[in-house]
Amino acid sequence: MIVTLTANPSFDRTIALSGRLERGGVLRADAALEQAGGKGVNISRAASVADVATIAVFPADEDAPFTVALRHDGIRCHPVRPTGEVRVNLTLTEHDGTTTKINSAGATADADLLDRLRTAVSELAADASWVVLAGSVPPGTPDGWYAEVAADLRASGARVAVDTSEKPLLALAAALGEARPDIIKPNSEELALLTGGDPVAIEADPVEAAAAAYRLVEAGAGSVLATLGGAGAVLVTREGAWRATPPPITVVSTVGAGDSSLFGYLLADLRGEAPAERLRLAVAYGSAAASLPGTTIPAPHQARPDLVEVHPVPLDTRPAPASTHATPAASAAREN
């Protein structure tokens, strides 16, 4: 079973524009979609579609429209009493796949809410193969909260995946030795932020991406799945590194593609696949999601791992020069 925690869920509204986005202009829409979402919820949605047992934990009332919508879609939920309404995020997509996102902050969390979420996840982890901590955290949440939850879960027997950004990600990177997540999933910009690298170089060069990711593995992460946009993804473990290139697709919306990639990895792991095959299915799922509108999560038949190429990457394990790269802890110190 996969337990997901979405601490800052959202109603995701996507508007497909008929032309280019123009600031100050009057724009026409080809379509508008709305879906109950958030990164963890998206992974639970993918699991449900794939007939994988899952429970989505999030702050919302039992009878809130958000909870009702998810249960209507067949997703098993564990809502936790919230401090406010679920936020609304807006996504604007253009015909060439360009995506513009406007995210609300969400209701401010207090210590009681964070304790309720933490307790719910810890109790459910006893029956889980994976626990996924995903997305942003609500205002009022300490930067290191995900790192603390991940450390708590080490005694549960469940493996832990973390997919977050900005200060919570930096705090996690600074505490990898204690938190020890089994996998983290940064994109190229996030990987550069954590390691002091160049995001353009990381996305363009799988060897550079693998070297940066390996530094996080050395610091305590079990594995790093780095998604590189149209360049595919890189997976790094202590045993090796691999890169995967996606099949040719027409990009419709990139929203939810990273979530789908992480689910593809987890699904392959639950099937007992080797690391290279986990990466293959991750990229297949991410590519399928990018070819669908809005935050549509692909079904298994829409993911084409047979069209994904996977190759080993030579891994340079020598320490990076201090003058050109920063350690995760140093990056976190600069950010805070």
Task: Output the DSSP codes for 247-265.
Answer: PP---S--TTHHHHHHHHH
Q: Which residues contact 255 (CB under 8 A, 6 or more apart)?
A: 12, 14, 91, 93, 99, 101, 294, 295
- Which one from 12, 182, 259, 269 is the annotated catalytic residue? 259
Q: What dihedral do alpha carbons 238, 258, 42, 302 form, nearest 10°? A: -100
The DSSP string of 30-46 is EEEEEEEE-HHHHHHHH
**How far, in Å, CA of 130 to CA of 3, rounded?**
6
Residue 187: DSSP 8-state: B
The span from the CA of 175 to the CA of 178, in Å, is 6
Examine the residue annotation and report whether 259 is marked as an active-site residue of this protein.
yes
Sign of the Cα pseudo-torsion (48, 50, 287, 309, in order): positive
Where do the H-state alpha helices sit in 65-198?
65-72, 111-125, 145-153, 166-174, 176-179, 188-195
Q: What angle do CA 306, 307, 309 make, to 5 degrees?
A: 95
Sole residue written with tokens 């509204």: 13
User: How do 130-134 and 159-163 pair as beta strands?
Assistant: parallel
Q: Just list the catalytic residues.
A: 259
